[in-house]
Amino acid sequence: MSDAGQGVAASPRDQVREKVRELVPSLERLSLTYGAMDDFNSETDSDYTSYWRDWFISSRGNEYFCEIDEEYLTDRFNLTGLNTEVQYYQYALDLVTDVFDFDCDDDMREQIEKSARHLYGLVHARYIVTTRGLAKMVCRAPHKLHRGAPADVPSQLEKFKKSDFGKCPRVMCDSQPLLPMGQADIANSSPVKLYCARCEDLYNPKSSRHAIIDGAYFGTSFHNILFQVYPNMLPPKTQRRYEPRVFGFKVHSAAALARWQADEREKLKDRLRGARMESGFEEEEEAEEEEEDEDMEGDGFDGAAVQQ
């Protein structure tokens, strides 16, 4: 058959050129996704992340953390005083900022890795009370977005509304989203807790991976500052309370009051005994004991006399 009917066969050189044209768009997307860190812009939700931070945030058990901007990590003012709290501080900082080039054995590397995680947690507590840090804690983390996809930033309340940190187990709180917080700003004092803004109580994380996180990595002020900056996130206080009932009928308030008074009376007695303070309760207790002895004697339980 003629060349007009079947078309001219492409030469090997033309085939190579066509293959290159097909690969160029893919190479361009790849270069945009994994471009140089020099193009990283902390003011926008960029797709660029350093390797160590990307690994740390995506690791299981670190879902409570948000990604810290590189500019914040490289500003020495933000790290003031941490060099005395973190072992191998400079090596840990180099590892976090992805410039670590120290040749060491596996044991040393493990120690530096542990220090890097501790350093990141301490800096994290400072970062999340900044304007950008607050926004990242209530937004979906940028690392969860597809690398090649456009940075479609969700609403500021998405992460909070999705209950990424858990829901309040109290029935009357209607599954109120929780927020992580610490009970102390000093490291190794207490693990992280979950705060409910509706009942204003603290709860333990369900996952054992989260329960071992140091509370100092979130600090004692984060949730309070968050509700000051975003007051629309603060839920109304619940007025619902459990009402005790007997066969569907409410328990009389006088009975509930008497039960409460009896409990408080016993608590007061215990406190006075612990403090070894004299009070009027001793005479009442002696009188009650005498009455009990009399009742036992009247029932014939005084015991038989021992004959000599």
Which has the minimum average pLDDT: 79-93, 119-133, 134-148? Answer: 134-148
Q: pLDDT digit string (tens) for 61-86?
A: 999 999 999 899 999 999 999 999 99
Please report the pLDDT score of residue 1 as a whole number: 46
φ and ψ of 251, to 5 deg = -70, 135
Q: pLDDT digit string (tens) for 170-180?
A: 888 889 999 99
Mean pLDDT, residues 14-29 taken together: 52
Is residue 58 over pLDDT 80? yes
In the chain, what is the straight-line distance between the N-terminal and C-terminal CA atoms, in Å?
Answer: 139
Q: Which residue has the higher pLDDT, 174 or 274?
A: 174
Distance CA 119, CA 68 (A): 12
Is residue 196 over pLDDT 50? yes
Q: Residue 191 forms beta bridges with which residues?
A: 214
Is residue 37 over pLDDT 60? no
User: Do residues 191 and 155 lie in contact, with contact meaning Cβ atoms separated by under 8 Å?
Assistant: no
Res. 19 pLDDT band, cuts 50 70 90: low
Res. 272 pLDDT band, cuts 50 70 90: confident
pTM of the entire predicted model: 0.61
Res. 13 pLDDT band, cuts 50 70 90: low
Is residue 44 over pLDDT 50? no
Instruction: Please compute, for residue 274, the number of CA atoms within 13 A of its CA located in the half-sphere on the CB side.
Output: 6
DSSP 164: T
Instruction: Please name the residue ranges forming H helices in 75-171.
Output: 89-96, 106-127, 131-138, 158-161
Q: Quick one: which of 113, 40, 116 has its CA closest to 71?
A: 40
Four-residue CA torsion sign, 138, 142, 145, 149: positive
Mean pLDDT, residues 127-138 taken together: 90
Instruction: Please compute, for residue 284, the number of CA atoms within 13 A of its CA located in the half-sphere on the CB side.
Output: 7
Distance CA 76, CA 79 (A): 5
Indicate the Cα dihedral angle 291, 296, 298, 299, nearest 10°.
140
The tokens of 75 are what?
């500003």
Map tokens 């006088």 to a residue: 254
Is residue 212 over pLDDT 70? yes
Four-residue CA torsion sign, 263, 268, 273, 279: negative
Is residue 36 over pLDDT 60? no
User: In the chain, pLDDT over 90 holds for what percent of residues?
Assistant: 36
Mean pLDDT, residues 201-224 taken together: 93
Mean pLDDT, residues 226-238 taken together: 86
Please report the pLDDT score of residue 145 as a whole number: 37
Please report the pLDDT score of residue 149 as a whole number: 35
Is residue 160 over pLDDT 90? no
Please report the pLDDT score of residue 43 as a whole number: 40
Read off the amino acid at residue 281: F
